[in-house]
Amino acid sequence: MDDNNQPLPKSVLLKNCRNFISFTLPQLLSHQYDLVANITHESPAEVGKEGKRDPLEEGSYKCHVQHKATGQWYEIQDLHVKETMPQLIGLSESYVLIYEKKGLA
Amino acid sequence: MSSSIPNNSSNSGQKRKRSSSDIAKQAKDSKETVDKNKICPYLDTINRTWLDFDFEHSCSITLQSGPHIYACLVCGKFFLGRGPQTPAHIHSVDENGHNVFVHLTKGTFHCLPDNYEIKDASLKDISAALHPKFTTQEIRQIDQQRSLSRDLFGKQYLPGFVGLNNLNKTDYINATVQALAHVRPLRDFFLKFGHPQNFDSSTKMILNNKKQVKIDPSTFSPLAQCFGDLVRKMWSDKRFKSNIDPHMIIQAVSVASKKKFHIGKQAEAGEFMAWLLHHLHVGIGGSSKKPGSSIVHDIFQGKVEVTTLKKNKKPIASVFDQKNPLDSIATVENDPTLVTEETISNTHFLQLTLDIPEKPLFKDEEGGLVIPQEPLVNVLNKFNGISFHDALNMQRRYRLKKLPNYLILHLARFKKNGFSMEKNPTIVAFPKSLDLGRYVMESEKEASKREKKKNIPTVEEMTSMSVSWMILFLNISFSHAQMILF
């Protein structure tokens, strides 16, 4: 409210704005990341309950990756490659995630 | 007829060394050999559907592996060759019509037992299947590629999205390789710096941190070469079959890790990822001591500041030296003989390991365990730079100093409990796009930059501006839009 009563000189204000756009904004955006790959580990439901078998031995790994040109996500489990929905990836039992900084391309 | 050709050419080679008088005759000779090379009568015997270059390049008779392994293009078997008495030579004599061979490392084609090199444009597809090559143009456009490719059997596949064979509990290697093969700069590096035999000596490359590194694919470690081979095969659109057998890399992993990661034994993908990245870094010429000395560090390395609080027994002498005992009681509440020691260290990391909260002890009504859900933001709080976390008789605080271009998060799901392995099934809900701005502390460099430029407002200052201020700001921005934009 004080600012309203005593407006800054135009030149200072302008400088502030320019600095904000050229310096603070890019810095803010520089920590934005996008998902590129997701490795999940799934073990059969009964393994966790019994607690007897080794979840690492019984489980299997999958990898989710995105096709850049179409934006389609693919789920790859060894030889099986199939299209998948991005909503399902967010709910998977993820184990290793790789994120890419925005605006690198 | 054709057996006289190699003699001719070798003779002319010897002559070239001895005397330079009859150049004209040599030229005629060599021209003749080139002409004769072009008409190899056995090219139509090649059986492309039998060819598979994914298997380990070792002789099927002597089991030797080495630089002189040839593949018979008629039956697909690998032999040591190609001089007289070698398995490849014997194979070409024994079997009727098995005369065309390819050198598996050099990619040159030979006719045995006549022993001359074949140069024919119709063999290009075999070269491409053996050692896929990418031009700079192709690498730049690879992410725009939408079309499906067709393998020899008519099956369609999308380059870069091909299945990898599971050789017996090696799915963790497959998943890790798939993930890394989609990290753009790493993939482009290995697509560009291709097979050493097809590459003209050392090239220099400038990393993001302005450091210049020498790159010579022929000095890459076997593991790095196999990884590069696999990445190139995965992104090739000229494959003979639409899936890949990762034999070579798994062999190389097994050798390099001294069987820690081996066929038939499951392992943690997170642990393997860290191991593989380190060995790739060293394998392509990075130094294990200097940070940022290879493209792997360039892509994945970040910096974290670790503050450790450790309670130590106070040296007895200093206890007696204390003039004011009240002071020491104030610093250490429970035990006056303990002091808290604070150490700050900066560590480089290639991946961040996140701890997942323990699963609940109690079961639900149906007797099953409740699978808890946790947003990734909560799990990331380990690195907020405020709270201390308990470690073995000490406390640690993590503060992110620098984030890499590609951030690997490893959710520590597996825990050794006595002799058995336990897995934490908590579902960590993670977003497609992540903002880590609030976890990164401003480095001193940037802070001093801000000091110098006094008029740089922070976000808080900008948002705390009153509405009229904003209107004024917009007015001025519009009137000076050109100034701001240009």
At B136-147, the pLDDT tens digits run: 899 999 999 888
Alpha-carbon radius of gyration of chain B:
32
> What pLDDT does B18 receive?
43
Distances from the Cα of B126 to the Cα of B122, B132, B159, angstroms: 9, 9, 17
Greatest mean pLDDT range, B203-212, B231-240, B312-321: B231-240
pLDDT of A96 > 60? The answer is: yes
- How far is B350 from B202, CA to CA, in rounded Å? 27
Residue B249 in contact with residue B226, Cβ under 8 Å?
Answer: yes
CB-based contact, A83 to chain B, within 8 Å: no
Q: Which residues of B touch A39 (CB under 8 A)?
A: 175-176, 179, 269, 273
Distance, in angstroms, between A86 CA and closest chain B CA?
8
pLDDT in tens, B195-205: 665 555 556 77
* DSSP state, residue B31: H
Please report which confidence band the pLDDT of residue B355 belongs to, taking 50, 70 and 90 as the band edges.
Answer: confident
- How far is A1 from A7, CA to CA, in rounded Å? 10
Average pLDDT of span A10-29:
73
Other Cβ atoms within 10 Å of B45 Cβ, number: 13
> What pLDDT does B446 receive?
59
pLDDT in tens, B423-471: 888 888 888 888 887 788 765 555 555 555 555 556 556 555 555 566 6
User: Which three-class secondary structure state does DSSP give residue B21?
Assistant: coil
pLDDT of B5 > 50? The answer is: no
Domain borders along chain A are 1-31, 33-101
The secondary structure of B114-169 as a DSSP string is: TTEEE--GGGHHHHHHHS----HHHHHHGGG----EE-TTS-EE-TT--EE---SS
Contact B446 A27 (CB under 8 A): yes
Average pLDDT of span B327-342:
58
Facing B178 at nearest CB: one of A15, A52, A65: A65
Please, how many CA atoms are within 13 Å of residue B438, restricted to the half-sphere of its CB?
Answer: 10
Alpha-carbon radius of gyration of chain A:
24
- How far is B32 from B358, CA to CA, in rounded Å? 77
Q: Output the CA torsion sign for B62, B63, B66, B67.
A: positive
CB-based contact, A25 to chain B, within 8 Å: no
Which distant-in-sequence residues (6+ apart) come within 8 Å of B385 by Cβ?
B305, B397, B398, B399, B400, B439, B441
ipTM for the whole complex: 0.81
Q: Which residue has the tokens 């054709």?
A: B2
Closest of B199, B196, B176, B322 to residue B249, by C-alpha: B176
Facing B472 at nearest CB: one of A7, A93, A100: A7
Contact A54 B420 (CB under 8 A): yes
Distance, in angstroms, between A14 CA and closest chain B CA?
7
Please report which confidence band the pLDDT of residue B282 belongs to, taking 50, 70 and 90 as the band edges.
Answer: very high
Which distant-in-sequence residues (6+ apart) come within 8 Å of A17 by Cβ?
B473, B476, B477, B484
pLDDT of B314 > 90? The answer is: no
Distances from the Cα of B202 to the Cα of A51, B213, B217, angstroms: 54, 10, 8
User: Whole-model pTM above 0.90?
Assistant: no
CB-based contact, A80 to chain B, within 8 Å: yes
More confident residue, B118 or A11: B118
Closest of B54, B187, B192, B378 to residue A65, by C-alpha: B187
Q: Which residues of A touch B175 (CB under 8 A)?
A: 39, 61-63, 76
- How far is B38 from B123, CA to CA, in rounded Å? 11
pLDDT of B194 > 90? The answer is: no
* DSSP state, residue A21: I
Mode of pairing for the β-strands spanning B352-355 and B420-423: unpaired
Which class in CATH covers the domain with range B40-128?
alpha beta
E-assigned strand segments in B314-403: 338-349, 352-355, 373-375, 389-391, 394-402
pLDDT in tens, B375-413: 888 888 888 878 888 777 788 888 888 889 999 999 988
Q: Which residues of B touch A37 (CB under 8 A)?
A: 178-180, 182-183
- How far is A25 from A27, CA to CA, in rounded Å? 5
> What pLDDT does B415 receive?
81
> What pLDDT does A15 receive?
78
pLDDT of B103 > 90? The answer is: yes
More confident residue, B444 or B9: B444
> What pLDDT does A51 receive?
52
- How many inter-chain contacts (A to B, CB under 8 Å) are there? 229
Which class in CATH covers the domain with range B132-299?
alpha beta
Average pLDDT of span B47-64:
91
Facing B165 at nearest CB: one of A21, A54, A79: A79
Structure-block tokens of residue B402: 């620098």
- Judged by CB atoms within 8 Å, which residues 31-70 of A form the interface with B? 31-39, 41, 43, 48-49, 51-52, 54-57, 59-63, 65-70
Closest of B35, B48, B61 to residue B102, by C-alpha: B48
- φ, ψ at A70 (rounded to 5°): -105, -15
B278 alpha carbon, distance to own chain's centre: 10
Contact A17 B163 (CB under 8 A): no
Facing A17 at nearest CB: one of B184, B425, B476: B476
More confident residue, B187 or B433: B187
Please report which confidence band the pLDDT of residue A24 belongs to, taking 50, 70 and 90 as the band edges.
Answer: low
Q: Which residues of B touch A17 (CB under 8 A)?
A: 473, 476-477, 484
Distance, in angstroms, between B207 CA and closest chain A CA?
14
Residue B263 in contact with residue B170, Cβ under 8 Å?
Answer: yes
- How far is A83 from B439, CA to CA, in rounded Å? 34
Burial label for A30, CB within 10 Å (0-12, 13-18, 19+), is middle
pLDDT of B81 > 50? The answer is: yes
> What pLDDT does B14 receive?
44
User: Which three-class secondary structure state does DSSP give residue A12?
Assistant: helix
Residue B338 in contact with residue B332, Cβ under 8 Å?
Answer: yes
Please report which confidence band the pLDDT of residue A46 belongs to, taking 50, 70 and 90 as the band edges.
Answer: low
Average pLDDT of span B360-372:
66
> What pLDDT does B417 receive?
75
Q: Which residue has the tokens 């960590």?
A: B428
Please report which confidence band the pLDDT of residue B325 belongs to, taking 50, 70 and 90 as the band edges.
Answer: very low
Please, how many CA atoms are within 13 Å of residue B116, restricted to the half-sphere of its CB?
Answer: 26
Residue of B nearest to A69 (CA): B144
pLDDT in tens, B283-297: 988 888 888 888 899
Average pLDDT of span B200-227:
78
pLDDT of B227 > 80? The answer is: yes
E-assigned strand segments in A30-93: 32-42, 60-66, 73-77, 80-84
> What pLDDT does B205 receive?
76
Distance, in angstroms, between A94 CA and closest chain B CA?
7
Please report which confidence band the pLDDT of residue B180 belongs to, taking 50, 70 and 90 as the band edges.
Answer: very high
